[in-house]
Amino acid sequence: MRIARETGTQLKVWEEALTVFDADGNPVSQDEVNELSALEWEDIIPTASRYSKESKDSIDPNTSLYDFFLHKSQNLFQDQPVEIAEQKRAKLLQMAQGWGAYIGSPIHRQSLKYFWLEECLEGENPFVAGTYRKILEAISEAAKKHAEIRLRCEVVEILSRRILGDDHVPSQPPRVKLAEGTVLSFDAVVLTTPLGWLKENKAAFKPTLPKEMSLAIDSISYGHLDKVYLTFPTAWWKKSSEASETSSTTKSNDSTNHPPQVFTFWLQPTYAPSTNPQQWLQECVDLTTLPPESSHPTLLFYIQGPQSKYIANLVNSSTGSDKDRDEKLIDFFLPYISKLPGYNERKRECKPSAVKATSWTSDKFAGFGSYSNFQVGLENGDLHIEMMRYGMPERGIWFAGEHTAPFIALGTTTGAYWSGEGVGKRIIETFEEGTKV
């Protein structure tokens, strides 16, 4: 936040306004959405976080956050007719699937035992309305001024030797080997690679990683979160549905009388069996709600877990042309955008003019994923994080990144920055002490 303010980076704190379509594609009343959203975010999730923190030593490692939701939901809506109560419980559990967009994995994979590690920083949680450009320029200024930066150089080996004797001097300094054969020597090496890369490339370390470090890297899970941007000529969904042109030959959707909120959920859709037989929840953010300088007619879909892998395969299986790739993506998301007010399949403004999908899930340098999370079955999760955070100073090898951040900031850009600061300070301290450890 400090750097963002100092650099004049535009931020946006959104209201938690939500539009929801049920499994049949019908809009859920705003009163019911507000009721269910409040239960989720003001009751069940805070209760789960407290329970995880207070009872982490006794919680079964295989118990998930979804299990907690399921248990709590059984005691809700007891004062309402049985059929209505069951419908509300079903919608609440379907809305809870949205937790996957926070961790990059389905909610039933979220460990309840280590849910406390997902606790957020207090205060505002703003969205970077513009880009990270100014922030990156600020934090890279010293490196660009004082260091030699090599881009497009793939590291294939990290070579090190243990410290020998009582003088704490390594037999050789740490080195990295590049794909083209060059070996570079350093006083210390800080690896900021994603956790997923470490998982895929443990064999790159020579000698092999200590057993405890290898176990730590294996034990902490890695999520799959990607984004798909659909940009339109105009924000047709913001217009009053009453103004939509309809005729017997023109299909237009006027299912709601008001434009959608900042966030839109399509719960467990049953109406797209050919493209989404798994009935994955869909969710998007309306980027017209950004400040005027950054606002644009784009719907940003967050996809996670198995769906992220599916979309990555969809993109990679395209014939090679951008048109083929974009058409596949549009076909996938069409059943959902067509539910928005004002949609008219005959109108040009309702057809995306640009499509962009991230594909971290298929990117080897991203470790085929996004960032760390804490899934069912995990034990000693906090100790594994501390192990990676400590690194291997006896070899001159250190780790930084969101997976080594303070517990309160794991899985965040803030945490990644803090981890780098922390390692930098530790390296300075060790060299000032003359130990090189």
Please indicate, yes or no, whether residues 113 and 256 belong to a single structural domain of this protein: yes
Same domain, 157 and 61: no
Q: For residues 355 and 342, give the distance between their C-alpha atoms in angstroms, rounded to a whole number.
A: 20
Residue after which a domain boundary falls, among 320, 336, 362: 362
Residue 262 falls inside a structural domain: yes
SS3 per-residue string spanning 285-336: EEHHHCCCCCCCCEEEEEEEHHHHHHHHHHHHCCCCCHHHHHHHHHHHHHHH
Is residue 320 one of the residues assigned to a domain? yes
Whether 234 and 217 map to the same domain: the answer is: no
User: Is 134 part of any domain?
Assistant: no
> Tell me, what amino acid is at 435?
T
What is the Cα–Cα distance from 248 to 234, expressed in whole angstroms? 24
Contact residues for 292 (Cβ-Cβ < 8 A; gap 6+): none
- How far is 274 from 265, CA to CA, in rounded Å? 20
Question: Please, are residues 420 and 404 in contact by the beta-carbon 8 Å criterion?
Answer: no
Give me the amino acid identity at 323. K
The verdict on 273 and 358 lying in the same domain is: yes
The residue among 362, 384, 414 that closes a domain is 362
325-371 pLDDT tens trace: 999 999 999 999 999 999 999 999 999 999 999 999 999 999 999 99
Question: Domain range holding 376?
Answer: 150-223+371-432
The tokens for 245 are 């042109």
Please enumerate, as own/partner, the contacts of 333-338 that have beta carbons within 8 Å and a separation of 24 or more. Answer: 333/228, 333/230, 333/282, 333/301, 335/25, 335/269, 335/271, 335/272, 335/275, 335/276, 336/21, 336/266, 336/269, 336/272, 336/282, 336/284, 337/230, 337/237, 337/299, 338/253
Burial of 6 (0-12, 13-18, 19+ CB in 10 A): exposed
- Alpha-carbon gap, residue 251 to 141, rounded angstroms: 54
Task: For CA atoms 53, 56, 57, 58, give the dihedral sign.
Answer: positive
pLDDT in tens, the chain (437 residues): 889 889 998 888 877 789 999 999 999 999 999 999 999 999 999 999 999 999 999 999 999 999 999 999 999 999 999 999 999 999 999 999 999 999 999 999 999 999 999 987 666 778 888 889 999 999 999 999 999 999 999 999 999 976 555 445 556 889 999 999 999 999 999 999 999 999 999 999 999 999 999 999 999 999 999 999 999 999 999 985 445 444 334 455 655 555 668 999 999 999 999 999 999 999 999 999 999 989 999 999 999 999 999 999 998 887 778 899 999 999 999 999 999 999 999 999 999 999 999 999 999 999 999 999 999 999 999 999 999 999 999 999 999 999 999 999 999 999 999 999 999 999 999 888 875 54
- If asked whether residues 209 and 251 sit together in one domain, one would say no
CATH number at residue 392: 3.50.50.60
Looking at the fold, whether 106 and 212 belong to one and the same domain comes out as no
Q: Is 372 helix (H, G, I), strand (E, B) or coil?
A: strand
Domain count, the chain: 2
What CATH number does the domain containing 264 carry?
A: 3.90.660.10
d(CA 110, CA 411): 14
Q: Are 21 and 266 in contact (CB under 8 A)?
A: yes
Structural domain includes residue 437: no
Distances from the Cα of 198 to the Cα of 204, 301, 369, 400, 416, angstroms: 9, 28, 12, 12, 15
Does residue 292 share a domain with residue 323? yes
Residue 122 CB-density burial (10 A; 0-12 exposed, 13-18 middle, 19+ buried): exposed
> 68, 112 in Cβ contact below 8 A?
yes
Rounded Cα gap, residues 187 and 207, in angstroms: 17
Cα–Cα distance, 413 to 400 (Å, whole number): 12
For the stretch 199-232, pLDDT in tens is: 999 999 999 999 999 999 999 999 999 999 999 9
